[in-house]
Amino acid sequence: MRQISDKTTEQQNQASKYIDQMSTSEILVTMNEEDKTVPHAVAKAIPEIEKFVNAVVASMKKGGSLYYVGAGTSGRLGVLDASEIPPTYSAPPELVQGIMCGGLTALVTAVEGAEDDFDAGYKVVDERGITENDCLLGITTSGMADYVHAALKRTKEIGGTTGLLVCNEFEKTSDIDVLIKAIVGPEIVTGSTRMKAGTATKLIVNMITTASMIKMNKTYGNLMIDLMTNNKKLWDRGARIIRHCTDTDYDNGMAKLKEAEGSVKTALVMVLLDVDAETARKRLSAHDGALRKVLDEEGKSLHL
Protein backbone atom coordinates (compact mmCIF):
# COMPACT_ATOMS: atom_id res chain seq x y z
CA MET A 1 0.00 0.00 0.00
CA ARG A 2 1.33 3.45 -0.91
CA GLN A 3 2.17 5.80 1.93
CA ILE A 4 1.11 9.45 2.00
CA SER A 5 2.97 10.36 5.17
CA ASP A 6 5.54 12.33 3.15
CA LYS A 7 2.86 14.66 1.74
CA THR A 8 2.99 18.16 3.19
CA THR A 9 -0.77 18.19 3.72
CA GLU A 10 -0.32 15.17 5.98
CA GLN A 11 2.30 16.83 8.19
CA GLN A 12 1.53 18.27 11.60
CA ASN A 13 0.97 22.02 11.61
CA GLN A 14 3.04 23.54 14.42
CA ALA A 15 0.81 26.62 14.64
CA SER A 16 -2.16 24.46 15.65
CA LYS A 17 -0.35 21.76 17.62
CA TYR A 18 -2.25 22.63 20.81
CA ILE A 19 -5.43 23.87 19.15
CA ASP A 20 -7.64 21.82 21.48
CA GLN A 21 -6.42 23.99 24.36
CA MET A 22 -7.17 27.29 22.62
CA SER A 23 -10.14 29.53 23.17
CA THR A 24 -12.68 29.78 20.36
CA SER A 25 -11.24 33.14 19.35
CA GLU A 26 -7.71 31.74 19.26
CA ILE A 27 -8.84 28.80 17.11
CA LEU A 28 -10.50 31.13 14.61
CA VAL A 29 -7.54 33.52 14.47
CA THR A 30 -5.16 30.59 13.92
CA MET A 31 -7.32 29.27 11.10
CA ASN A 32 -7.56 32.70 9.53
CA GLU A 33 -3.80 33.22 9.67
CA GLU A 34 -3.23 29.88 7.95
CA ASP A 35 -5.87 30.65 5.34
CA LYS A 36 -4.02 33.86 4.45
CA THR A 37 -1.17 31.74 3.10
CA VAL A 38 -3.35 30.04 0.49
CA PRO A 39 -3.49 32.88 -2.10
CA HIS A 40 0.31 33.08 -2.03
CA ALA A 41 0.53 29.37 -2.85
CA VAL A 42 -1.96 29.85 -5.69
CA ALA A 43 -0.02 32.86 -7.02
CA LYS A 44 3.04 30.69 -7.56
CA ALA A 45 0.95 28.43 -9.79
CA ILE A 46 -0.37 31.20 -12.06
CA PRO A 47 1.98 30.43 -15.00
CA GLU A 48 0.65 26.87 -15.16
CA ILE A 49 -2.93 27.99 -14.58
CA GLU A 50 -2.47 30.36 -17.53
CA LYS A 51 -1.30 27.49 -19.76
CA PHE A 52 -4.34 25.46 -18.85
CA VAL A 53 -6.76 28.37 -19.38
CA ASN A 54 -5.31 28.97 -22.84
CA ALA A 55 -5.79 25.28 -23.62
CA VAL A 56 -9.39 25.40 -22.38
CA VAL A 57 -10.20 28.44 -24.51
CA ALA A 58 -8.63 26.85 -27.59
CA SER A 59 -10.65 23.71 -26.89
CA MET A 60 -13.93 25.60 -26.46
CA LYS A 61 -13.37 27.48 -29.71
CA LYS A 62 -13.22 24.09 -31.43
CA GLY A 63 -16.50 23.06 -29.83
CA GLY A 64 -14.87 21.19 -26.97
CA SER A 65 -15.66 21.15 -23.26
CA LEU A 66 -13.85 21.32 -19.94
CA TYR A 67 -14.22 18.37 -17.59
CA TYR A 68 -13.20 18.20 -13.94
CA VAL A 69 -12.64 14.82 -12.33
CA GLY A 70 -11.91 14.27 -8.66
CA ALA A 71 -12.73 12.42 -5.48
CA GLY A 72 -14.02 13.73 -2.16
CA THR A 73 -13.66 17.47 -1.63
CA SER A 74 -11.74 17.79 -4.90
CA GLY A 75 -14.54 16.21 -6.90
CA ARG A 76 -17.26 18.17 -5.14
CA LEU A 77 -15.53 21.47 -5.85
CA GLY A 78 -15.23 20.56 -9.52
CA VAL A 79 -18.93 19.71 -9.73
CA LEU A 80 -19.80 22.94 -7.90
CA ASP A 81 -17.78 25.11 -10.25
CA ALA A 82 -19.22 23.41 -13.32
CA SER A 83 -22.79 23.83 -12.07
CA GLU A 84 -22.37 27.58 -11.68
CA ILE A 85 -21.29 28.31 -15.26
CA PRO A 86 -24.65 27.98 -17.11
CA PRO A 87 -26.58 30.50 -14.97
CA THR A 88 -23.67 32.93 -14.69
CA TYR A 89 -22.59 33.01 -18.33
CA SER A 90 -25.55 31.63 -20.30
CA ALA A 91 -23.37 28.70 -21.25
CA PRO A 92 -24.77 25.29 -22.19
CA PRO A 93 -24.45 22.77 -19.33
CA GLU A 94 -22.18 20.55 -21.40
CA LEU A 95 -19.52 23.29 -21.75
CA VAL A 96 -18.10 22.68 -18.25
CA GLN A 97 -18.82 19.35 -16.57
CA GLY A 98 -17.85 17.80 -13.28
CA ILE A 99 -17.18 14.09 -12.86
CA MET A 100 -17.47 12.91 -9.28
CA CYS A 101 -15.61 9.77 -8.31
CA GLY A 102 -18.24 7.48 -6.84
CA GLY A 103 -21.08 9.15 -8.76
CA LEU A 104 -23.77 11.51 -7.55
CA THR A 105 -24.11 9.64 -4.26
CA ALA A 106 -20.57 10.69 -3.40
CA LEU A 107 -21.55 14.35 -3.53
CA VAL A 108 -23.24 14.02 -0.15
CA THR A 109 -21.98 10.70 1.21
CA ALA A 110 -18.43 9.35 1.17
CA VAL A 111 -18.05 6.32 -1.09
CA GLU A 112 -15.17 4.41 0.44
CA GLY A 113 -12.50 3.11 -1.90
CA ALA A 114 -13.93 4.79 -5.02
CA GLU A 115 -10.82 6.90 -5.59
CA ASP A 116 -8.73 3.72 -5.79
CA ASP A 117 -10.82 2.25 -8.64
CA PHE A 118 -8.56 2.66 -11.68
CA ASP A 119 -10.89 0.78 -14.04
CA ALA A 120 -13.86 3.02 -13.19
CA GLY A 121 -11.80 6.16 -13.82
CA TYR A 122 -10.62 4.80 -17.16
CA LYS A 123 -14.13 3.85 -18.28
CA VAL A 124 -15.80 7.10 -17.23
CA VAL A 125 -13.98 9.01 -19.97
CA ASP A 126 -15.67 6.98 -22.68
CA GLU A 127 -18.96 6.93 -20.80
CA ARG A 128 -19.00 10.73 -20.76
CA GLY A 129 -18.06 10.95 -24.44
CA ILE A 130 -14.83 12.88 -23.96
CA THR A 131 -13.05 13.52 -27.29
CA GLU A 132 -9.80 14.92 -28.64
CA ASN A 133 -11.39 18.39 -28.61
CA ASP A 134 -11.91 18.38 -24.84
CA CYS A 135 -9.84 19.31 -21.79
CA LEU A 136 -9.84 17.29 -18.58
CA LEU A 137 -8.51 18.59 -15.28
CA GLY A 138 -7.85 15.96 -12.66
CA ILE A 139 -8.02 17.22 -9.08
CA THR A 140 -6.38 15.26 -6.27
CA THR A 141 -4.78 16.97 -3.29
CA SER A 142 -2.28 14.20 -2.65
CA GLY A 143 -1.80 13.35 -6.32
CA MET A 144 -2.53 9.70 -5.52
CA ALA A 145 -6.14 9.07 -6.60
CA ASP A 146 -6.03 6.17 -9.08
CA TYR A 147 -9.48 7.07 -10.43
CA VAL A 148 -8.18 10.49 -11.45
CA HIS A 149 -4.99 9.17 -13.03
CA ALA A 150 -6.95 6.59 -15.00
CA ALA A 151 -9.17 9.34 -16.42
CA LEU A 152 -6.09 11.36 -17.37
CA LYS A 153 -4.53 8.33 -19.05
CA ARG A 154 -7.61 7.57 -21.14
CA THR A 155 -8.12 11.21 -22.11
CA LYS A 156 -4.52 11.43 -23.25
CA GLU A 157 -4.93 8.25 -25.30
CA ILE A 158 -7.93 9.80 -27.02
CA GLY A 159 -5.95 12.94 -27.82
CA GLY A 160 -7.58 15.36 -25.38
CA THR A 161 -5.72 17.92 -23.32
CA THR A 162 -5.01 16.99 -19.72
CA GLY A 163 -4.15 18.87 -16.57
CA LEU A 164 -3.63 17.85 -12.96
CA LEU A 165 -4.21 20.04 -9.90
CA VAL A 166 -2.43 18.94 -6.72
CA CYS A 167 -1.57 20.55 -3.38
CA ASN A 168 1.61 18.57 -2.79
CA GLU A 169 4.86 18.04 -4.66
CA PHE A 170 4.28 15.75 -7.62
CA GLU A 171 6.36 14.56 -10.57
CA LYS A 172 4.74 15.22 -13.94
CA THR A 173 3.95 12.12 -16.01
CA SER A 174 3.41 11.63 -19.73
CA ASP A 175 -0.37 11.63 -19.17
CA ILE A 176 -0.31 15.23 -17.93
CA ASP A 177 0.03 18.20 -20.27
CA VAL A 178 -0.18 20.84 -17.53
CA LEU A 179 0.70 20.27 -13.87
CA ILE A 180 -0.73 22.84 -11.45
CA LYS A 181 0.78 22.70 -7.96
CA ALA A 182 -0.54 24.81 -5.08
CA ILE A 183 1.61 23.82 -2.13
CA VAL A 184 -0.45 24.96 0.84
CA GLY A 185 1.47 23.16 3.57
CA PRO A 186 0.16 21.34 6.66
CA GLU A 187 -3.51 21.70 7.50
CA ILE A 188 -4.84 23.15 10.78
CA VAL A 189 -6.29 19.72 11.56
CA THR A 190 -3.72 17.24 10.31
CA GLY A 191 -4.73 15.74 6.97
CA SER A 192 -8.04 17.64 6.73
CA THR A 193 -7.59 18.74 3.13
CA ARG A 194 -11.09 20.15 2.86
CA MET A 195 -9.50 23.21 4.52
CA LYS A 196 -6.50 24.98 2.94
CA ALA A 197 -6.20 22.52 0.06
CA GLY A 198 -9.93 22.85 -0.58
CA THR A 199 -9.68 26.64 -0.50
CA ALA A 200 -6.80 26.58 -2.99
CA THR A 201 -8.78 24.25 -5.26
CA LYS A 202 -11.83 26.54 -5.15
CA LEU A 203 -9.70 29.56 -6.01
CA ILE A 204 -8.02 27.82 -8.94
CA VAL A 205 -11.12 26.32 -10.55
CA ASN A 206 -12.82 29.73 -10.24
CA MET A 207 -9.83 31.30 -11.97
CA ILE A 208 -9.87 28.72 -14.77
CA THR A 209 -13.54 29.06 -15.66
CA THR A 210 -13.82 32.81 -15.08
CA ALA A 211 -10.77 33.61 -17.21
CA SER A 212 -12.01 31.20 -19.88
CA MET A 213 -15.46 32.78 -19.97
CA ILE A 214 -13.94 36.26 -20.27
CA LYS A 215 -11.85 35.05 -23.20
CA MET A 216 -15.01 33.52 -24.71
CA ASN A 217 -16.61 37.00 -24.84
CA LYS A 218 -18.93 36.45 -21.89
CA THR A 219 -18.19 39.84 -20.30
CA TYR A 220 -17.80 43.47 -21.33
CA GLY A 221 -15.20 44.98 -19.05
CA ASN A 222 -16.08 43.39 -15.73
CA LEU A 223 -19.81 43.39 -16.36
CA MET A 224 -21.73 40.13 -16.56
CA ILE A 225 -23.44 41.01 -19.84
CA ASP A 226 -24.08 37.45 -21.02
CA LEU A 227 -26.31 36.39 -18.16
CA MET A 228 -29.76 34.98 -18.83
CA THR A 229 -32.59 36.15 -16.61
CA ASN A 230 -34.43 33.26 -14.97
CA ASN A 231 -35.71 34.81 -11.74
CA LYS A 232 -36.86 38.19 -10.42
CA LYS A 233 -33.43 39.09 -9.08
CA LEU A 234 -31.76 38.48 -12.44
CA TRP A 235 -34.46 40.34 -14.41
CA ASP A 236 -33.82 43.31 -12.15
CA ARG A 237 -30.04 42.96 -12.44
CA GLY A 238 -30.31 42.72 -16.22
CA ALA A 239 -32.42 45.88 -16.48
CA ARG A 240 -30.03 47.73 -14.18
CA ILE A 241 -27.04 46.67 -16.29
CA ILE A 242 -28.76 47.98 -19.40
CA ARG A 243 -29.59 51.27 -17.65
CA HIS A 244 -26.04 51.60 -16.33
CA CYS A 245 -24.39 50.85 -19.67
CA THR A 246 -26.59 52.96 -21.93
CA ASP A 247 -28.51 56.22 -21.86
CA THR A 248 -31.86 54.47 -21.57
CA ASP A 249 -33.99 54.30 -18.44
CA TYR A 250 -34.86 51.28 -16.33
CA ASP A 251 -38.33 50.74 -17.81
CA ASN A 252 -37.09 50.78 -21.41
CA GLY A 253 -34.21 48.53 -20.44
CA MET A 254 -36.67 46.05 -18.96
CA ALA A 255 -38.87 46.26 -22.05
CA LYS A 256 -35.91 45.53 -24.37
CA LEU A 257 -34.82 42.72 -22.09
CA LYS A 258 -38.22 41.10 -22.43
CA GLU A 259 -38.12 41.48 -26.21
CA ALA A 260 -34.70 39.81 -26.10
CA GLU A 261 -36.21 36.90 -24.15
CA GLY A 262 -34.03 37.65 -21.15
CA SER A 263 -30.68 37.98 -22.95
CA VAL A 264 -28.87 41.03 -21.56
CA LYS A 265 -26.27 41.02 -24.33
CA THR A 266 -28.94 40.99 -27.04
CA ALA A 267 -30.87 43.77 -25.31
CA LEU A 268 -27.77 45.94 -25.12
CA VAL A 269 -27.23 45.64 -28.88
CA MET A 270 -30.90 46.49 -29.43
CA VAL A 271 -30.62 49.66 -27.36
CA LEU A 272 -27.23 50.85 -28.62
CA LEU A 273 -27.81 50.11 -32.31
CA ASP A 274 -31.59 50.69 -32.32
CA VAL A 275 -32.35 47.30 -33.90
CA ASP A 276 -34.79 44.49 -33.17
CA ALA A 277 -33.91 41.32 -31.30
CA GLU A 278 -33.41 39.16 -34.40
CA THR A 279 -31.00 41.66 -35.94
CA ALA A 280 -29.14 41.99 -32.66
CA ARG A 281 -28.68 38.22 -32.45
CA LYS A 282 -27.37 38.07 -36.02
CA ARG A 283 -24.86 40.84 -35.34
CA LEU A 284 -23.60 39.06 -32.26
CA SER A 285 -23.40 35.73 -34.06
CA ALA A 286 -21.31 37.31 -36.82
CA HIS A 287 -18.72 38.27 -34.21
CA ASP A 288 -18.76 35.02 -32.19
CA GLY A 289 -20.80 36.68 -29.46
CA ALA A 290 -18.25 39.46 -28.86
CA LEU A 291 -20.33 42.48 -27.85
CA ARG A 292 -17.32 44.80 -27.94
CA LYS A 293 -16.61 43.93 -31.58
CA VAL A 294 -20.24 44.54 -32.55
CA LEU A 295 -20.24 47.96 -30.91
CA ASP A 296 -16.74 48.90 -32.13
CA GLU A 297 -17.93 48.29 -35.70
CA GLU A 298 -20.52 51.04 -35.21
CA GLY A 299 -18.33 53.35 -33.16
CA LYS A 300 -20.38 52.64 -30.03
CA SER A 301 -19.40 51.62 -26.51
CA LEU A 302 -20.97 50.89 -23.15
CA HIS A 303 -20.67 53.09 -20.09
CA LEU A 304 -18.49 51.26 -17.59
- How many Å apart are CA 68 and CA 151, to the nearest integer? 10
34 has catalytic annotation: no
What number of helices (H) and strands (E) belong to the chain? 12, 5
259 has catalytic annotation: no
- Catalytic-labelled residue, pool 10, 50, 84, 259: 84
CB atoms within 10 A of CB 65: 24
Burial of 126 (C-beta count, 10 Å sphere; 0-12/13-18/19+): exposed
Closest CA to 190 of 3, 1, 18, 2: 18
Residue 152 CB contacts under 8 Å (≥ 6 apart), including other chains: 136, 138, 162, 164, 175, 176
- Catalytic-labelled residue, pool 10, 48, 94, 115: 115
- How many Å apart are CA 69 and CA 83, to the nearest integer? 14
Catalytic residues: 84, 115
